[in-house]
Amino acid sequence: MALHSTAFCFTGAVSSYSHSSVKLSTHPTIKASSPLPRLNVRVKALPGDGLSETKETRESPLVVCFGEMLIDFVPTVSGLSLAESPAFKKAPGGAPANVAVGIARLGGSSAFIGKVGADEFGYMLADILKENNVNGAGMRFDPGARTALAFVTLRSDGEREFMFYRNPSADMLLQEAELDLSLITKAKIFHYGSISLITEPCKSAHIAAAKAAKDAGVVLSYDPNLRLPLWPSADKAREGILSIWETADIIKISEEEISFLTQGEDPYDDAVVYKLFHANLKLLLVTEGPDGCRYYTKDFSGRVQGLKVEAVDATGAGDAFVAGILSQLSTDFSLLQKEDQLRDALRFANACGALTVMERGAIPALPTREAVLNAIHAPVS
C-alpha cells in the first residue's frame, strides 16, 4: 500500500475564511487564578485509598470517545529533525483514544469507538485499551488498510511537529453501519475531534454517531485538535471544524486554534474568544500550555494557572487536560454553575496536562489520579 506523509507544525499560518458566530450580549469579567489550600475534585474511590465514594462515582458515568487511534513514533533525542533523530520510541496515541485512556487512568469509566488495521499495530492498540480498562467494544479492524502512523519531531522546548502516514489508514474507513449505537446512547459524555471529519466514510459515521448521542441526551464534548496538513486546504479545515461547532456542549481549544478559526485575531482578547461562543454552549475552555487555561460560560469566566514542570514531550498534554475535566464533569455537571468548584476541577485538569509533558509519548505518559493529587498538593518543580 502506498503511504502518504505530511508535515505539521503547531504554529501554522492562518488562512482567510469568514464565519459568523454567536456573540454573548455581555462578557463576564475574567477572574484571575489564585491558589486554594484544598481542591474539591470528584474522583472515583478505590478500596483502601481513603477517598469517600459518592453515589455518582459508584455509578461510574461513561465517557465515550470517538475517532482515531494510531502509533506515534517519538524521537529519543529532542531538538533534532526527523532525519537527524537516531531512534524513535513507539507510543500509542490518537487524541480521542488518549482521552479515553486518560479518563480510565483517573479512575473513570470510558470507551473508545474507532477503527484500526487488522495488523500487529492495530492488535497492540486494542490490547492497550484493554490493559487500561477502556471499553473497546466499539473498536473495529480493517483487513484492507493499515493502522495510522505519526512521526513526531520534538523541539528543545518539548513542542512538536508531525509527519503522518495515512493514505488511507484504517481510522479513515470507519462506516456508519459499524457504529455501536448502544454504547454511544448510554454514555454521559460523547467526546470527539475533527480529524474524523476529513474524509468519507468516517465523516458520515462521525456525524451519525454525534446525532445519536445528541438525540439520546448525551453531552457532546469537542476538541478540534487541528492537524492542518491532513486537510485538503486551510479553508477546508476551518470549514470542517466549524461545521459541527454549534452542536457541541463543551469545547476545548488552544490559543493557536483560536487564531486559526478567527483569521489571525488575538487569542488573548476575550472579545475574540466570545466570537466562538455559541448560544447553546455550556463551557468553552482555552488551553495555554504551561500557563494553564481560561474558561468561559454564559455566567462567568476566568483563568486558572498551570503547574510549572520541565517539558520533555508535549504530545498528549491537551488530551490529558480533557480527560481531567471530563472525568470531573461526568460525575457532576453542576460544576458548570459553581465557579469555585469548576476552578478546582480545572486545576486538576491542568495538573493532568502538566504531568503528561514530563515523559515521552501520549498514552505512556498519562497520569493516574494519585499522581495528579500528589502534584497538586506538592507541585512538581
Is 247 part of a structural domain of the chain?
yes
So what's the pLDDT on residue 35? 37
Number of domains in the chain: 1
Largest CA distance in the chain: 56
Asked whether residue 325 carries a pLDDT value surpassing 60, the answer given is yes
Which domain range does residue 260 map to?
62-68+93-147+172-376
Average pLDDT over residues 226-241: 95
So what's the pLDDT on residue 158? 57
Angle between helix 339-356 and helix 369-377 axes, rounded to 10 deg? 110
What's the CA gap between 163 and 230, in Å, rounded? 10
Structure confidence at residue 153 as a pLDDT band (50, 70, 90) = confident
Specify the DSSP element, H or E, that contains 90. Answer: strand 88-93
Cα three-residue angle 210-215-216, rounded to 5 degrees: 100
Q: What is the CATH number of the domain that holds 353?
A: 3.40.1190.20
So what's the pLDDT on residue 160? 66
Can you tell me whether residue 5 is helix, strand or coil? strand
CB contact at 8 A, 294 and 288: yes
So what's the pLDDT on residue 130? 97
So what's the pLDDT on residue 53? 35
Residues 6+ apart with CB under 8 A from 293: 285, 286, 287, 303, 304, 306, 321, 346, 349, 350
Is 55 part of a structural domain of the chain?
no
Cα three-residue angle 255-259-261, rounded to 5 degrees: 110
Question: pLDDT tens across 64-101, in order?
Answer: 999 999 998 988 887 888 888 899 989 899 999 999 99
Predicted TM-score (pTM) above 0.75: yes
What's the CA gap between 318 and 109, in Å, rounded? 19
Question: pLDDT tens across 154-188, in order?
Answer: 666 656 677 899 889 999 999 999 999 999 999 99
Is 5 part of a structural domain of the chain?
no
Residues 6+ apart with CB under 8 A from 310: 358
Mean pLDDT (the chain) is: 85
Average pLDDT over residues 326-348: 97
Percent of the chain exceeding pLDDT 90 equals 71
Beta bridge partners of 287: 254, 293
Can you tell me whether residue 225 is helix, strand or coil? coil
Burial of 37 by CB count in 10 Å (0-12 exposed, 13-18 middle, 19+ buried)?
exposed
Grid cell listed for 159: 513542542
Can you tell me whether residue 303 is helix, strand or coil? strand
What's the CA gap between 18 and 263, in Å, rounded? 8
Asked whether residue 57 carries a pLDDT value surpassing 60, the answer given is no
Can you tell me whether residue 63 is helix, strand or coil? strand
